[in-house]
Amino acid sequence: MLTIETGGASIPALGLGIFRMNNEQVARIVPAALEAGFRHFDTAQIYGNEAVLGDALQASGISRNDFFLTTKVWVDNYTPERFARSVEESLEKLKLDYVDLLLLHWPGDTVPMSQQIEWLDAVKDTGKTRHIGVSNQNIAQMRESARLSTAPIVTNQVELHPYLNQSALFAAARDLGIPLTAYYGMADGKVVHDPVLQEIGRRHGKTAAQVTLRWLLQQGAIVLSKTSTPERLQENIAIFDFVLSDTELAQIAALVRPDGRLVSPAGLAPAWD
């Protein structure tokens, strides 16, 4: 598995996200993902499935040093009383002493970034997370977070797929040395039906989904794949044996749409770049 080195962290470049998975799905998919070769798992407090993920990892018998786990602090816990305690509750559910990466889930519009980063740094100082990062931040917020934090910000996890132009965010992240982590890479299922992606896939003997995941990797992103179907795991992980040409990368970049953004909840999302 390719890894991304960032801020002292070594993150498997392809992970399994368990957003919108119920407990039964998580319990079924995690053992299959481990068998397929996945070692990076991404959850969040708001997903409601930290506990079943922890159960599945513990039951697998996998060594703690052999997997990388990310969770996120939900905005309701952005208070002096609740932030650190919410992380302790996540660890109890996950049955872990620490997570590998702890993220601020959304910027929100009520708590100053300086306060959010102060709390995040404080958790890092306790050893309950090895690394810290952010999610759903625009360029200004990402720069502010990097400036304020005493520990490296190792990623900004954001919506990334062929229909959303994130070139400005990519450029700013590269300048800061912060890799982006891609969620919604399949654009909520739209990419699998895209004729351009399908044609590129035919040239390589790959699916449109595999082409999309490879496109994200080749831009230097950490990629979160998602499936609740064990059979699909082998497809998602088989993206390290081909390379997209510059022409193909340009074809995919041309798929950008003005209305490409899919995730922008009021009160949580920033003013996007």
Distance, CA of 77 to CA of 36 (rounded, Å): 35
Q: Kindly give the interhelix angle for 23-36 and 230-237, rounded to the nearest 10 degrees.
A: 40
Choosing from 47, 78, 183, 184, the catalytic residue is: 47
Query: Is 108 in contact with 75 (CB distance < 8 Å)?
Result: yes
Cβ 95 vs Cβ 54: under 8 Å: yes
- In the annotation, is 183 catalytic? no
Question: What distance separates the 2 farthest-apart alpha carbons in the chain?
Answer: 55
Amino acid at 20: R
Residues facing residue 15 across a β-bridge: 224
> Looking at the chain, which runs of residues are DSSP E strands?
3-6, 9-12, 14-17, 40-42, 68-73, 99-104, 129-135, 153-159, 180-183, 222-225
The alpha-carbon radius of gyration of the chain (Å, integer) is 18
Catalytic center residues = 47
